[in-house]
Amino acid sequence: MGKILFPTDGSKTAERARKFAVNIAKATNSEIIVLVVVPTPSTLSGFQPAVAGRFEDELKERMLEIAKVARKKILDEDIKADFKVAVGAPSEEIVKLADKEKADAIVMGTHGVTGLARVFIGSVADRVVRKAHCPIILVPEKDFS
């Protein structure tokens, strides 16, 4: 059985990537691991620890929900699915988990929630492409047509 890593930030593009991951999983008899990374932005360091802590907790809660919802949608397609939550730099955590789980491929979006559509690909996608050791499938926001 193959293993596909699907990192998501809950964005529309990531949702498109999920659908593609499901199609590959069906065709290749693979399972999907959903990964959300709660970013630890340096901008939070300007806040008092208590405030930054509360902000991080809220973010973690939201990301956890994103992971659970994505996993459920995948399970509804009769694909085996698990989810993981990591804290840190998204690209590093994605590459680390792909290595640890010996993922056959990473399926993710070209863009996410924060980015500008005019950049070629988002910074997380860019770093994963540079650092990962397995094949990566980047799913675009829009159809090519």
Ligand X SMILES: Nc1ncnc2c1ncn2[C@@H]1O[C@H](COP(=O)(O)OP(=O)(O)OP(=O)(O)O)[C@@H](O)[C@H]1O
Of 13 and 30, CB closest to Mg ion: 13
Q: Count interface residues toward Mg ion (CB under 5 A).
A: 3
Of 50 and 118, CB closest to ligand X: 118
Stretch that binds Mg ion, among 57-65, 80-88, 101-109, 117-125 (CB under 5 A): 117-125
Report the run of H or E that residue 87 belongs to, with start and end. strand 81-88
In angstroms, give the least distance from the CB of 28 to Mg ion: 28
b/e burial code for range 67-98 (CB count within 10 A of at least 16 → b): beebbebbeeeebebebbbbeebbbebbbbbb
Of 51 and 117, CB closest to ligand X: 117
For residue 14, what are the contacts with CB-CB under 8 A and spacing of at least 6? 7, 8, 108, 109, 112
Asked if 23 is part of the footprint of Mg ion (rule: CB under 5 A), the reply reads no
| Positive or negative torsion for Cα 117, 122, 123, 124 | positive
In angstroms, give the least distance from the CB of 114 to ligand X: 4
- Per CB under 5 A, residues contacting Mg ion are 112, 114, 122
